[in-house]
Amino acid sequence: MHIQHISPASAATVSEAVSLPPATGPLSSEPIKISAFGLPDQNGACGSDLSVVSEPLMTVPRWERVGRVVPSMDAVLKVFCVHTEPNFSLPWQRKKQYSSSSSGFVIRGRRVLTNAHSVDHHTQVKLKKRGSDTKYLATVLAIGTECDIAMLTVSDDEFWEGISPVEFGDLPALQDAVTVVGYPIGGDTISVTSGVVSRMEILPYVHGSTELLGMQIDAAINSGNSGGPAFNDKGECVGIAFQSLKHEDAENIGYVIPVPVIMHFIQDYEKNGVYTGFPILGIKWQKMENPDLRMSMGMRPDQKGIRIRRLEPTAPESQLLKPSDVILSFDGVNIASDGTVPFRHGERIGFSYLVSQKYIGDNALVKVLRNSETLEFSSKLANHKELIPSHIEGKPPSYYIVAGFVLTAVSLPYLRSEVKL
């Protein structure tokens, strides 16, 4: 199983796709009847073999979801980027330039959102509106590598004429319909694909080497869809397409950056004037589902929590917490022995979601059990610097030459370039 971010479509290939997904039967406005059991067939009958079928619960006109999204489609843009990546083996040089295309969309404040990997190591970024033949030069305002979101703007007033910004909706529930709009490979005009929300959990963000809240959908997401919005049936944006699952036993599994992560990025930029990042707890922990393990740590039968295995030496939490401390709660929310906290009705999610909802510099109360004694600490959250950074924020690598030797800082991008990780 391999999760990868959706690479921007290369300019050397035929890029961007057009076409609406074919329906079962000819395109029409006839309603589809949905019954209590199974799925409807072309005649509206239920697919179940039960002899008694309840009355239809609702009718959904064919293509109604797409029709509601149409007014927002003019805000979806095609992003053209020229990339010049650093050469980690020869840090005083850069690699050969290459071009890519991806997707983006307009939000309030004359700004555009796309994926961070779509404009990574950018030299030039241009935007093209739907139905236009003009490319407008864009400026990158902020890049959030961890959350794989970038914010752009265009100084040309002509670009903003006739564009209405996209409005954001609430976090969708499971089985809610979503429509992904963008410019994937396969054509040059806008493409629309539909699906449903199949999962909501903490996911690995491949580009940022982090874990944040993510939304899994069953709509097809391909190269070039990067940065495109996902709309709900009201035409509101509920996420940004950014990566997919590549596995021989899986099809049409795409991942979307949900609204809470997007709003955190936007509000962080508006509050600080720059992107500061998502706070994290610099700990490695283990589950405590084994009752014997909990007993050995001096926990009561009604107590739950997670055990700290290791603390990052550069994390501020290393001054407060200790290995083998048991974290009982974070900011007043009890943590279960499997590391989850309540999320929505009938759902649980990893407790790191609570941390990611905070901002750099916020304080959080951490309750721990140490030597059978309950302690509470106030920790100032930060995005601590790792000893081996996962990324270098688009900057060229630093280096020092002495006596014929070239010295450079160790980073994950450097290791990938040298040993092909």
What digits encode the pLDDT tens for the residues 158-171?
Answer: 999 999 999 999 99
How confident is the model over 180-209, as a mean pLDDT? 91
Same domain, 271 and 297: no
pLDDT tens sequence across 333-363: 999 999 999 998 889 999 999 999 999 999 9
Same domain, 111 and 237: yes
Residues 6+ apart with CB under 8 A from 421: 412, 415
Q: Which one of 108-117, 186-195, 247-256 scores highest in mean pLDDT?
A: 108-117
Same domain, 155 and 213: yes
How confident is the model over 61-66, as a mean pLDDT? 51
Same domain, 299 and 324: yes
What percentage of the chain exceeds 70 in pLDDT?
81
- Three-state secondary structure readout of 338-373: CCEEECCCCCEEECHHHHHCCCCCCEEEEEEEECCE
Give the global pTM.
Answer: 0.82
Same domain, 306 and 349: yes
For residue 376, pLDDT beyond 90: yes
- Secondary structure of residue 283 in the 3-state scheme: strand
**Domain residue limits at 340:** 283-380
Same domain, 13 and 156: yes
In a domain, 95, yes or no: yes
Q: What is the C-alpha to C-alpha distance for residues 266 and 243, in angstroms, rounded to an integer?
A: 20
For the CA atoms of 70, 71, 74, 78, the dihedral, rounded to the nearest 10 degrees, stands at -40
Same domain, 198 and 331: no
User: pLDDT category, 389, cuts 50, 70, 90?
Assistant: confident
Same domain, 228 and 93: yes
- We report the CATH number of the domain holding residue 192 as 2.40.10.120
pLDDT tens sequence across 123-149: 999 999 998 999 999 999 999 999 999
Query: Which are the catalytic amino acids?
Result: 117, 148, 226
- Secondary structure of residue 157 in the 3-state scheme: helix
Q: Determine the pLDDT at residue 4.
A: 61
Same domain, 338 and 243: no
Same domain, 229 and 182: yes
pLDDT tens sequence across 2-56: 566 666 665 443 333 333 333 333 333 444 333 333 334 444 444 434 333 444 4
- Secondary structure of residue 317 in the 3-state scheme: helix
Q: Determine the pLDDT at residue 1.
A: 54
- Secondary structure of residue 72 in the 3-state scheme: helix
Residue 229, beta-bridge partner list: 240
What percentage of the chain exceeds 90 in pLDDT?
62
End-to-end CA, the chain: 16
How confident is the model over 386-413, as a mean pLDDT? 85
Q: Are 256 and 214 in contact (CB under 8 A)?
A: yes
How confident is the model over 402-413, as a mean pLDDT? 89
User: pLDDT category, 178, cuts 50, 70, 90?
Assistant: very high
In a domain, 29, yes or no: no
In a domain, 106, yes or no: yes
Q: Determine the pLDDT at residue 57.
A: 43
Read off the tokens for 371.
Answer: 């030597």
Same domain, 252 and 161: yes
Count of structural domains within the chain: 2
Q: Determine the pLDDT at residue 67.
A: 54
Cα 162 to Cα 132, 152, 285: the distances in Å are 12, 18, 51
For residue 312, count CB atoms less than 10 angstroms from its CB and return exposed for 0-12, middle for 13-18, buried for 19 or more: middle
Q: Determine the pLDDT at residue 77.
A: 96
pLDDT tens sequence across 289-301: 999 999 999 999 9
In a domain, 315, yes or no: yes
In a domain, 56, yes or no: no
**To which residue do tokens 């004429």 refer?**
161
